[in-house]
Homo-oligomer: A and B are copies of this chain.
Amino acid sequence: MTEKIRETGERVTIRTVAEDAGVSTAAVSKVLRNAYGVSDTLRSKVLTSIEKLGYRPSTAARGMRGKTYSIGLLLTEMENAFLPKVVRGAKEVFGAANYQVMIGVGEAQASIEQSLIDSMMDMRMDGVLLVAPRLTGTVLAGYAAKTPLVVIGHHEPSAETFDTVNSDDVAGAREAVCALIASGYRDIHMTSLSQRRFDMPAGEGEVFTMRETGYLAAMQEAGLSDRARIWRLREREGCEGPPLTDLLKVGPRPEAVFCWSDIHALELINLAWSRGVRVPEDLAIVGYDDTPAAGMPIVGLSSVNQQGADLGRQAARAMLSRIEGRTTPEHILLEPALKTRRSSGS
């Protein structure tokens, strides 16, 4: 009955290896997971067979009972030039721990994000790492109940079931605005996004909300509250719409603008250039994220660097410890640093 050594076609499975090495499949499995109870002789026998046959364990099968040694990483969109560093940092740590990272791209839609997270769980990935998701804390908690979850770029310090890793956006914004004030600017406006949810407790929410808080705090500390103004632009609208062009009109034009992201800052700097508005003489600009484009000499955009690689690394470490069994939440905050370039004046 066990004699049917019929050719299984091509695929070399754990059984092929076991047969070749003259041991049981479980023994092979043990060697693979270097579990307890394997002698050196057995181990080497199995290892040579694996080598000889070019065997690779199937992650799919593995996922049914054990772990898959893979992590799902969800990005909201690929266009944001800030993400590569985060990914690189995370991959560095995960790679060292022998985890593979598979990335899903959410196209900036909550529904796509959700279906991707579901897929990652369906694939039995060992954990899911979210970067700047467009999901509410409730939804996140729902996922956290089913899989180890770590979130980057989403402030939720009271979350009990998942970890968050963030740059201190309040401090970053404050630093940027303080630098503008120190350079002598007084009429400092800010560009931000339109709010999607209004029911957030203080200290929670999306990163741009935190940056607004930092902006307002810095303005207030300098006694400039009455000059503060936040231009809320609809997302994906770009800066072509009336709001941002209005910002450049001579009448109400501020002396300086703090942009919640380089996405806005770069559009603004280009818009200014196109209309002959000199930067920083007529308009100083500070961005956020310190993307590669900001660093191009021809652009020279001052921008807050939030150490993407470190965010990624810390998040990956949190994930690993959570996979190891940690259940107490961790909420990590990293210090950003303003990178000063031409666009913010002297």
> Which residues of A are in contact with B by a Cβ distance under 8 Å?
56-64, 68, 70, 72, 77-79, 81, 83-84, 87-88, 91, 100-105, 107, 115-116, 118-119, 121-124, 266, 269-270, 273-274, 292-293, 296-299
Contact of A298 among B102, B103, B298 (CB under 8 A): B298
Expressed in whole angstroms, the Cα–Cα distance for A61 and B122 within the complex equals 9
Chain B residues lying within 8 Å of A101, measured Cβ to Cβ, are: 104-105
Expressed in whole angstroms, the Cα–Cα distance for A56 and B91 within the complex equals 29
Chain B residues lying within 8 Å of A104, measured Cβ to Cβ, are: 100-103
Query: Do A296 and B83 form a contact, CB below 8 Å, given A59-B122, A64-B61, A100-B104?
Result: no
Q: How far is the CB of A110 from the nearest CB of chain B, in Å?
A: 15
Cβ–Cβ contact A123 & B79, under 8 A: no
Cβ–Cβ contact A100 & B116, under 8 A: yes
Copies of the protein in its oligomer: 2
Cβ–Cβ contact B105 & A60, under 8 A: no
Chain B residues lying within 8 Å of A62, measured Cβ to Cβ, are: 60
Cβ–Cβ contact B60 & A64, under 8 A: yes
Chain B residues lying within 8 Å of A84, measured Cβ to Cβ, are: 77-79
Chain B residues lying within 8 Å of A270, measured Cβ to Cβ, are: 296-298
Expressed in whole angstroms, the Cα–Cα distance for A83 and B176 within the complex equals 31
Cβ–Cβ contact B70 & A123, under 8 A: yes
Cβ–Cβ contact A60 & B57, under 8 A: no
Chain B residues lying within 8 Å of A79, measured Cβ to Cβ, are: 84, 292
